[in-house]
Amino acid sequence: MEKSKISRRQFISNSALIGAAGAIGGTTATGGLLTSCTTDNSKGRFKLVESDIPVIIPEMGDKAIDGKPLRAAIIGCGSRGSGATTDFLDAADGVTITSMVDIFPDRLERLRTILAERRNITVSDDKIHYGFEAYKKACDDPDIDVVLIASPGVFHSTHTKYAIEKGKQVFCEKPAGICPTTCREFLVAVKMAQAKGLCLQTGAQRNHLRGYIEAYRRVRAGMIGRITGGVLKWNQGAMNYALRRPEWTDMEYMLRDFFSWNWLCGDHVIDQLVHQLDIFTWFSHLKPVSVVGMGSQLQRRTGDIFDNFAMDIVYEGGVRVNAQARQIDSCSGDVSETIIGTEGTCYTKDNGTYTIHDWDGNLVWQYDMKAEEEQFQQRSGYRLEHVDFINHIRQGKSLTLEAERLVTSSLTGAMCRESAYTGREIKWDDFLASDLSLLPTELHLGNIPDFEKKFVPPKMGTLAALPGAPRARPVTPRTPAT
């Protein structure tokens, strides 16, 4: 078997994946932060929770260490690509953008102008690339050290694997994939990065918020006892969307509104809730066994995805997690994680709330945000994940633990989606072995025959059981309307 390929059954038994790569991708403890930024009334209750995975804490100062200059290509120049570019440039000195890739010239030129006007960075015409295959030109470029990937989720695995094959250091936004096929491909990229000693960092920014790191240490040290369950929520108002313009073809419309289309983003149960799923995977070191979900589309104005989900996920050892995701206006909002244990609960939220209570309701630990504010200037998880990324590159150390864990988290989200779409129980082992693929059989910028009939929201109870044949929709082009 070729080194770059992993069979489905090997994938299922891969201990690094199923063990859920639970530690942060870093190397050293945060020193004084562990005491100066915590209020700890645990009274000696720490009892180490047994695990094969070490508790690893990344170095995260305000900026990355100095070192060799790094030249980066950005693949995907929309809102998240613009954000990733800014975060990369702010994370260290001696880094720059020298190549840009997108499907649409207007989106790329907007970011190119921002770089010129605000950063004094000029990207030459020969480093500008457009189209579905343009990512290869940037990755083939010997002048590029780092590739930043912020394309739609369906392309993450393909872009990442190709960049790693070309020996690039890679930052890729979440998710790792949106179906078993793309997640397996991403895992291959992870294994290749490990073999080559490269860094593959992913955009699960909560892993680099100091409050989450401190909560993780205490959960793994046993402060809440054995984990027995959890409640995960990403409930918000309606997501941004793009209304169709008359000059757009069917495919251009979907690509410009990609957060609304299942085959591009994997639905918001992956695109957003993957963060909460990743926190539970990280804190618990468990993998899911099965899920029963439900959901529907009630108010969404564009696309074929749901706007509400509710899932009952069973993890190893009978641990049960209630997971919710909603994008509907005028409803209660909550984006948080509750980890439930035999001795108490850990509550985390990226607004700065990180607490542990015992079962009598007593506060036994709370992260000290004020102390963090006094000690650090850089407190953005988006920025700090790039600090960690660049530190590893400049130290010559491989970085793949977060990326490997994100495969598990992304597959869990995809499993939740398929259960909600079908109304059926989905089992982890069956799902991993499935040939399910959301990638269309052909990519183009034209119209799609019977577009309105092919891309409609699913209805529970009307779809066949999941494992088996691919569900990719063919998108044979037809002549654009004039």
Closest CA to 411 of 51, 53, 17, 19: 17
Which pairs count as long-range contacts for 49-52, CB under 8 Å and 24+ apart, including other chains? 49/219, 49/220, 49/221, 49/222, 49/226, 51/22, 51/220, 51/285, 52/19
Distance, CA of 89 to CA of 313 (rounded, Å): 39
Q: Which phi and psi (to 5°) does residue 81 adopt? A: -65, -40
CA 151 vs. chain centroid, Å, equals 12
Q: Is 221 helix (H, G, I), strand (E, B) or coil?
A: coil
Per the structure block, which two tokens stand in for 383?
A: 């920025």
pLDDT tens string, the chain, 482 residues long: the values are: 334 444 444 443 343 333 333 333 333 333 333 333 444 444 433 344 555 665 556 667 889 999 999 999 999 999 999 999 999 999 999 999 999 999 999 999 999 999 999 999 999 999 999 999 999 999 999 999 999 999 999 999 999 999 999 999 999 999 999 999 999 999 999 999 999 999 999 999 999 999 999 999 999 999 999 999 999 999 999 988 999 999 999 999 999 999 999 999 999 999 999 999 999 999 999 999 999 999 999 999 999 999 999 999 999 999 999 999 999 999 999 999 999 999 999 999 988 899 999 999 999 999 999 999 999 998 999 999 999 999 999 999 999 999 999 999 999 999 999 999 999 999 999 999 999 999 888 899 999 999 999 899 988 887 655 544 344 444 444 444 33
Distance, CA of 423 to CA of 268 (rounded, Å): 17
Distance, CA of 194 to CA of 183 (rounded, Å): 17
CB crowding 352-380: b at 16 or more within 10 Å, else e:
eebbbbbeeeeebbbbbbebbeeeeeebe
Match 């205490």 to its residue by tokens. Answer: 218
Give 260's DSSP letter: G
Residue 440's pLDDT is 86
Residue 61's pLDDT is 83
Provide the CB-side half-sphere exposure for 470 (13 A, CA).
14
Per the structure block, which two tokens stand in for 445?
A: 């910028």
Q: Integer distance in angstroms from the first to the last C-alpha of the chain?
A: 50
Burial class (CB in 10 A: 0-12, 13-18, 19+), 418: buried
* Domains detected in the chain: 58-207+379-404 (3.40.50.720), 210-378+410-454 (3.30.360.10)
Query: Global pTM?
Result: 0.88
Q: Which helix (H) or strand (E) holds 38?
A: strand 38-40
- E strand segments, 169-287: 169-172, 200-202, 227-236
Distance, CA of 154 to CA of 151 (rounded, Å): 8
**Residue 346 forms beta bridges with which residues?**
339, 356
Closest CA to 147 of 94, 97, 190: 97
Distance, CA of 142 to CA of 160 (rounded, Å): 17
Q: Region of 77 please: left (phi>0), alpha (psi -120 to 50) or beta.
A: alpha
Residue 290's pLDDT is 97
Whether 437 contacts 467, CB under 8 Å: no
Residue 176's pLDDT is 98
Residue 462's pLDDT is 75
Residue 55's pLDDT is 57
Say which amino acid occupies 369: M
Distance, CA of 123 to CA of 461 (rounded, Å): 51
Say which amino acid occupies 193: A
Residue 181's pLDDT is 96
Whether 379 contacts 372, CB under 8 Å: yes
